[in-house]
Amino acid sequence: MNDASDAARPNEAPEHFVREMIAADVASGKHGGRVVLRFPPEPNGYLHIGHGLRPITLNFGLAQEFGGRCNLRFDDTNPVAEEAEFVDAILADVRWLGFDWGEHLYYASDYFDQLYLWAEELIGKGLAYVCDLSSDEIREYQGTLTEPGRPSPYRDRSVAENLDLFRRMKAGDFEPGARVLRAKIDMASSVLPMRDPVLYRIVKASHHRTGDRWCIYPMYDFAHPLSDAIEGVTHSLCSLEFTDHRPLYDWCVENCSVPSRPEQTEFGRVGLTYTVMSKRWMKRLVEEGHVRGWDDPRMATLAAQRRRGVPPAAFRNLARDLGLTRRNITVELARYEHAIRTELNKTAPRVMAVLHPLKVVIENWPEGHVEEFEAVNNPEDPSAGTRKVPFSRELYIEQDDFLEDPPKKFFRLAPGREVRLRAACLVKCESVVKDASGRVTELRCTWDPATRGGDAPDGRRMQATLHWVSAAHAIPAEVRLYETLFSVEDPMGAAAEQGVEYTHFLNPKSETVLTGARVEPSLAGATPGAAYQFERLGYFAVDPDSKPGALVFGRTVTLRDEWAKVQKKGG
């Protein structure tokens, strides 16, 4: 994790309340001075940017800082929602972000036997009972935000009867919904989760790991604190919405004979503008075909960001820079993109690619003659070296880089004007060839042999430097340009406000597929996942859709673009 990207800001991250708390606990010898954290995803879907920017980087990062460890535990207590496929995807995402759980990969389902024993312990202590109320009835008895609940008629069953019933629940004697095991706490509590919460329910579904061995499954509120205790977790970090559950977390740990005393601390979640993060809403985008799949580069999943070419270091660095508070926050897309550019600027090799080719013929360059110019691979990193780029009589430049009648602040090529071709030479536009409709189809230029390499011996300065490829040597490639999936900052908020579906705000231009692009020949062997900067255009990654001889690039993020800004202001 200490790669070059952190050089500008060595080691120490800014302080925040959780770091201070852990430091204080270590100093005071609490938990024996140990630091054990955990990242506890439920394998019921894909991880998203919010996970990458907070819980993952926070837990694994703090564990590293304090020389402790971070367990990766799947909170798989609900077989109807969970699948092994998601386990694999989550593992891959965490690994991709650069974290290692070592031997500490766990599953809450591995603790089912122990959890069951603790449930019986609670029954024995008179702290839990089997309740025959239906879920509707339980809700009725629960009261409301302002009114206290009423005790279940089954609340005072004997220990023996509870034990018998619970064992029969486990044995499969009852149907789902017939009975549940509830904690006996306080039906009048102002904290709703304390009103005799359900601890176990009957579920007759196959579990991705335990199969059909169980037909009763523990609820999160029971399984989570006890799983933490089993693993010796010292600091159980979770998001704000679990704050109300903390009293119950503590109740479980206090009333079961657990081997350790973990403590829960809550932090705020991270959201991103122009995207939707929730599982349910992302799922709809996939199912309704608005995107190519869960890893479509426009999606907010980590798998999608990886495919798009986002470097994992950008996540770690941005997560660190965001700090940590007890507030749910929304990060501006620009800040996410900034983190990506900062990283890629240091690491991505530069290369030339022409997205919308415009033919250029160098009239004073001999037919059939080829020369190789030496191009710098990364001006930010001399160790990246140089490469040879072939130059010949017929080239392609970007259509956007020529205007027959240029406006004031347009510095690029125009009739009679001279510009530099990156790493090559200076060329001057002598004339323009048009088709019958008047469209410019070709530029006739001349080059100045004295400017080989790009510098003019007489010192004349160029207003612009253009990227280019040699027509005969360039490789055709498909290039996919991405913009935000939604056209408004807060799709869910806007939908609620305007009373329309959030899909109403899908950006029709979120993906543009270009099939006529040409890239320089050095890219011939590029492999999926590789990230490049297409000079003057942006950062692009080789998409896994690429096949031998048929490269597909996807745009990770554009370069900052002053000209685009000028145009926007003028238009």
Partner RNA sequence: UGGGGCGUCGUCUAACGGUAGGACAGCGGCCUUUGGAGCCGUGUGUGGAGGUUCGAAUCCUCCCGCCCCAGCCA
Q: Which residues are catalytic?
A: 42, 269, 279
The piece of 12-20, 364-372, 385-393, 478-486 that touches RNA (CB under 7 A) is: 12-20
Kindly identify the residues of this chain, within the stretch 19-78, that bind RNA according to CB under 7 A.
20, 40, 42, 75, 77-78
Cβ distance to RNA smaller for residue 292 or 333: 333
The piece of 282-290, 329-337, 505-513, 515-523 that touches RNA (CB under 7 A) is: 329-337
Spatial contact of 234 and 31, defined as CB atoms under 8 Å apart: yes
**Cβ neighbours around 564 below 10 Å, total:** 11
Q: How far is the CB of 537 from RNA (least distance, A)?
A: 7
Cβ distance to RNA smaller for residue 233 or 291: 233
Kindly identify the residues of this chain, within the stretch 376-435, that bind RNA according to CB under 7 A.
378-380, 409-412, 420, 422-423
CA distance 466 to 401: 7
Kindly identify the residues of this chain, within the stretch 200-239, that bind RNA according to CB under 7 A.
201-203, 217, 219-221, 223-224
Task: For 216-275, give the secondary structure using H, E and C.
Answer: EEECHHHHHHHHHHHCCCCEEEEEHHHHHHHHHHHHHHHHCCCCCCCEEEEECCEEECCC
Kindly identify the residues of this chain, within the stretch 174-193, that bind RNA according to CB under 7 A.
176-180, 190-193
- Does 461 sit near RNA (CB under 7 A)? yes
| Count of residues making up the chain | 571
- Does 307 sit near RNA (CB under 7 A)? no
Q: Could you give the strand order of the β-sheet that contains 418-421, starting from the edge strand earlier in sequence?
A: 465-466, 418-421, 425-434, 440-447, 357-362, 394-398, 468-470
Cβ distance to RNA smaller for residue 291 or 484: 484
Interface characters, 242-281, with RNA (x: CB under 7 A) = xxxx----------------------x-------------
Q: How far is the CB of 146 from RNA (least distance, A)?
A: 4
Q: How far is the CB of 453 from RNA (least distance, A)?
A: 4
- Does 355 sit near RNA (CB under 7 A)? no
CA angle 155, 159, 163 (to 5 degrees): 100
The dihedrals phi and psi of 107, each to the nearest 5 degrees, come to -135, 135
Q: How far is the CB of 14 from RNA (least distance, A)?
A: 6
* Residues near 76 by beta carbon (within 8 Å), at least 6 away in sequence: 42, 43, 82, 107, 108, 109, 207, 208, 209
List the structure tokens of 495: 């939908």
Cβ distance to RNA smaller for residue 193 or 297: 193
Q: How far is the CB of 289 from RNA (least distance, A)?
A: 25
Cβ distance to RNA smaller for residue 189 or 545: 189
Amino acid identity of residue 152, one-letter, is: S
Kindly identify the residues of this chain, within the stretch 514-553, that bind RNA according to CB under 7 A.
533, 535-536
Kindly identify the residues of this chain, within the stretch 122-151, that bind RNA according to CB under 7 A.
133-135, 138-139, 142, 144-146
**Based on C-alpha coordinates, what's the Rg of the chain?**
31
Task: For 48-62, give the secondary structure using H, E and C.
Answer: EHHHHHCHHHHHHHH
Element (H or E) spanning 166, and its range?
helix 159-171
C-alpha separations of 439 from 357, 417, 502 in Å: 14, 19, 40
Strand partners for 181: 130, 200
Q: How far is the CB of 545 from RNA (least distance, A)?
A: 25
Q: Which of 286, 384, 464, 530 binds RNA (CB under 7 A)?
A: 464
